[in-house]
Amino acid sequence: MINKQEDNLQTYNWQAETLPGTDTILDVFQILHRNISHVFWIFDLIKQQYLYISPSVFKLRGLTVEEAMKETMAQSLYKDDYNFIMNHLQPRISHFENGDDSMKSMTGEYRHPHKDGHLVWVEISSTLIKNDQGKVDRIIGISREITRKKSERQLQRDTQSLFETVFNFTGIGIALINEDGSFVNVNKGFCKMIGYPRGYVMEKSFFNFVVPGDIECIHEIFDTTHHAKNFEKQSEIRLINIHGQIIWGLINITGVKSLKENRMRWVIQIQETTERKKAEETIKLLNTDLQLKNREMEQLVYVTSHDLRSPLVNIKGFSGELMVSFSQLTRILAEIAPEEKQNIIQQLFNEINESFDYIYASVKKMDRLLRGLLDFSRLGKQIKAPSMLNMNQIVADVIKINEFQIKNQGISITTHKLPDCWGSEDLINQVFSNLLGNSVKYLEKNRPGKITISGRTDGNYSVYCIEDNGVGINPRFHDKIFELFYRLNPERNEGDGLGLPTVKKIMELSSGKIELDSSEGKGTRFFIYLPNKEKADRG
Ligand code: ADP
């Protein structure tokens, strides 16, 4: 066996020592010297040169033994590492020579330059060798390549620091807790969320920061995860911050079973949702308010349109009676009045008659408007249950109703094959009546009218297009025309301004929508989107 006490290689009897088996120590050394990837070397401190370098230097540094042997120690090491070694070598030798044996062997990480210029990280174990006078004159060393280990360690360090950065600077609160709620670790995000410093949080239990009513919910999650190896669950809970305010958080709990310690731990991630929750609450309140206002509004429209019609009926009835009485009166007057008064009586009769005509026309219009408003307010109240509708049939019926006008005005109508849709027949019929009626009504007087009705399927919708080559609508009014009683150029055509608001309301009731594409003088295209199956998503 190699005598571990013996330092001086030269005095060692290599040949004589044998190992169990047949190899001598020298044989073993030679095998190692040729085959091992570590580089053995001996450096003579007196001559300042290498006495020996094993052939593996070629593998380590790309140098032949001859090339490596010619190098000085400074050439064989990276500059900074050489300076470091030199600063420490002399004191180390002195201490060792003075009897401090701990200085004899040392290990450190240094860099050798490779022949192709890059640096090779090595772990060098060096041993100081004394001569007969007790003075250190040689160093024996082994250089072991650690470049890979080094880069793995660096990668590990980089990954860890990346993880720490993410852990601490993510906007999400993260805590690793034990079964009893005590913290194993907690990040800055969590501490910021609740407003307490990390040191304070670490001493508490996670449950100290949870609204008591929500603790049970967390325990339930823990219980269900307890027997699973890895488990993840989401829930919304409330925390209490340093000011005693409630913080809403979307919590994600992952149970991790440590097989080594045979215990459960939980990684808790919390994303604050207080603002969203507040916004949701506000929207909920506003929605309720809106629904209330809507109902009030509908009620108001219904009551006014309904109640205003009865005095109107009176005005209509009594003005009719007045007219009859007045014509009787005029007849009597004509009989008994002197000749010279006959002209003035006739003039008065004409004026009063004209006033009656105005009253009658206004009453009629008001009656029509109130009836329209009443119908509008009742829209959707008593509708036929929705079903799949054969739109080819519905459109054909609508065209038939307008047939007289279409023929009379020489309008050419083209209808393409239309897809079915889901809706209430009466309402959808009304939509197409209003739109086709408008297309006919708003044609240009001085060019032949052309109307085309087509349809296609677009995802969950059937889309219908009613196109005319009429007067068109300036894009500035594309929104306005859907307002109650709004009419463009009322002097040009008859109408009440209720057609398009009615269509719009029906579309809302039918989970559909209406769009238009139109420009003045060129014509208009209305697009109707209706669900093509029972439950289409709104698009
Ligand atoms: P009304 O036809 O009774 O006036 P609507 O609500 O149906 O009321 O339409 C509102 C306004 O939109 C109309 O006054 C008209 O100016 C315009 N409009 C509607 N359809 C068309 C169309 N196809 N072409 C041109 N203008 C139209």
Q: Which residues of 18-43 are buried (b: 16+ CB within 10 A; e: fewer)?
A: eeeeeeebbebbeeeeeeeebbbbbb
- Sheet of 119-130: strand order equals 49-53, 39-44, 136-145, 119-130, 105-113
Q: Running DSSP on this structure, what letter comes out for residue 48?
A: T
Task: Determine whether the shortest distance from the Cβ of 247 to ligand 1 is under 6 A.
Answer: no
d(CA 174, CA 268): 6
Q: What pLDDT does 10 receive?
A: 42
- Sign of torsion over alpha carbons 447, 453, 454, 457: positive
Instruction: Find all residues with CB under 8 Å of 143, minimum gap 6, and list them.
Output: 38, 39, 41, 60, 112, 122, 123, 124
Torsions phi, psi for 258 (to 5 deg) = -85, 110
- What's the 441 CA to ligand 1 centre distance in angstroms? 8
d(CA 150, CA 112): 14
| DSSP reduced 3-state for 158 | helix
CB of 366 closer than 8 Å to CB of 424: no
Q: What pLDDT does 402 receive?
A: 92
Residue among 230, 224, 227, 179 at smallest CA distance from 205: 179
Q: Which ligand 1 atom is nearest residue 498's CA?
A: 6
d(CA 100, CA 150): 31
Instruction: Find all residues with CB under 8 Å of 55, minimum gap 6, and list them.
Output: 33, 34, 65
CB of 485 closer than 8 Å to CB of 478: no
CB of 84 closer than 8 Å to CB of 106: no
Task: Determine whether the shortest distance from the Cβ of 438 to ligand 1 is under 6 A.
Answer: yes
Q: What pLDDT does 6 receive?
A: 39
Task: Determine whether the shortest distance from the Cβ of 145 to ligand 1 is under 6 A.
Answer: no
| DSSP reduced 3-state for 276 | helix
- The DSSP string of 446-508 is TS--EEEEEEEEETTEEEEEEEE-SS---GGGTTGGGSTT--SSTTTS---S-HHHHHHHHHH
d(CA 447, CA 411): 10
Q: What pLDDT does 188 receive?
A: 92
d(CA 270, CA 190): 7
Q: Which ligand 1 atom is nearest residue 493's CA?
A: 4
CB of 484 closer than 8 Å to CB of 501: yes
Task: Determine whether the shortest distance from the Cβ of 468 to ligand 1 is under 6 A.
Answer: yes
Would residue 459 be called left, alpha or beta, if left means φ above 0 and alpha means ψ between -120 and 50 degrees?
left
CB of 184 closer than 8 Å to CB of 198: no
How many C-beta atoms lie closer than 10 Å to residue 137's C-beta?
A: 16
Instruction: Find all residues with CB under 8 Å of 132, minimum gap 6, and list them.
Output: none
Question: pLDDT of the chain along its 539 residues, tens only?
Answer: 333 333 434 444 444 444 444 456 666 666 666 667 789 999 999 999 999 998 899 999 999 999 999 999 999 999 999 999 999 999 999 999 999 999 999 999 999 999 999 999 999 999 999 999 999 999 999 999 998 888 888 888 888 888 888 888 888 999 999 988 999 999 999 999 999 999 999 999 999 999 999 998 888 888 776 655 556 677 889 999 999 999 999 988 888 877 677 778 888 999 999 888 889 889 999 999 998 888 888 888 888 888 888 888 888 888 889 889 988 988 888 888 888 888 888 888 889 989 988 998 899 888 888 888 888 888 877 777 899 999 999 999 999 999 999 999 999 999 999 999 999 999 999 999 999 999 999 999 899 999 999 999 999 999 999 999 999 999 999 999 999 999 998 888 888 999 999 999 999 999 999 999 999 999 999 999 999 987 644 44
Task: Determine whether the shortest distance from the Cβ of 237 to ligand 1 is under 6 A.
Answer: no
- What's the 532 CA to ligand 1 centre distance in angstroms? 27
Residue 132 token pair: 């007969």
Ligand 1 pocket mutation pick from 477, 487, 520 by most atoms within 8 angstroms of CB: 487
How far, in Å, are 268, 438, 469, 513 from residue 453 at the CA level? 59, 13, 12, 17
- What's the 290 CA to ligand 1 centre distance in angstroms? 29
Residue among 369, 334, 335, 504 at smallest CA distance from 434: 504
Residue whose tokens read 């399927």: 457
Task: Determine whether the shortest distance from the Cβ of 500 to ligand 1 is under 6 A.
Answer: yes
Give the residue whose CA is nearest to atom 20 of ligand 1: 438
d(CA 506, CA 378): 11
d(CA 228, CA 122): 46
How many C-beta atoms lie closer than 10 Å to residue 12's C-beta?
A: 15
Residue among 381, 382, 383, 375 at smallest CA distance from 302: 375
Residue 130 token pair: 């004394």
Using a cut of 0.85, tell me whether the model's pTM lies above it.
no
Q: Which ligand 1 atom is nearest residue 495's CA?
A: 3
Task: Determine whether the shortest distance from the Cβ of 473 to ligand 1 is under 6 A.
Answer: yes
Q: Crossing angle for the helix pair 391-401 and 425-441, nearest 10 degrees?
A: 50
Give the residue whose CA is nearest to atom 19 of ligand 1: 438
Ligand 1 pocket mutation pick from 365, 439, 500 by most atoms within 8 angstroms of CB: 500
d(CA 155, CA 285): 53
Residue 413 token pair: 């109508």
Task: Determine whether the shortest distance from the Cβ of 487 to ligand 1 is under 6 A.
Answer: yes
Residue 250 token pair: 């979307």
Q: What pLDDT does 378 receive?
A: 83
